[in-house]
Amino acid sequence: MALKRIVMHWTAGSNSANEIDLRHYHEIVEADGTRVLGNLRPEANESTSDGNYAAHTRAFNKDAIGLSMAGMAGAEERPFKAGQYPLTKVQVEMFAEMVAEYAETYSIGITR
């Protein structure tokens, strides 16, 4: 089997990774651009039947890498409000680099 996709998230928490984030994402970018590895390697998501995988997206975890930016607690969609912990420019830039690295490492095409 091979990992087929990368699912991009924000944590809906503070701008720092916490224990819950580490369980649910393979890697998280904090507000200052620091990258924090999650508890499980992406390969753990090649199978979800054993219960030992990063559960980052409901019913869409199998064969999926979950990457996240720490932040956006209290955000509102409409009208948009970034909440108490908005994402930072350096964080978004590092996140884009990180996603590109994972896509190259795991030979995952970039699609809309």
Helix, strand, coil in percent for the chain, rounding step 5: 25, 20, 55
Q: CA 64, CA 4: separation in Å to the nearest integer? A: 6
Cβ atoms < 10 Å from Cβ of 75:
16
- pLDDT at 1 (0 to 100): 60
* Amino acid of residue 8: M
The secondary element (H helix, E strand) that includes residue 29 is strand 27-29
pLDDT digits (tens, 9 = 90+) for 42-97: 999 999 999 999 999 998 999 999 999 999 999 999 999 999 999 999 999 999 99
Local structure of 72: helix, strand or coil: strand
DSSP annotation of 30 reads -
pLDDT digits (tens, 9 = 90+) for 7-51: 999 999 999 999 999 999 999 999 999 999 999 999 999 999 999
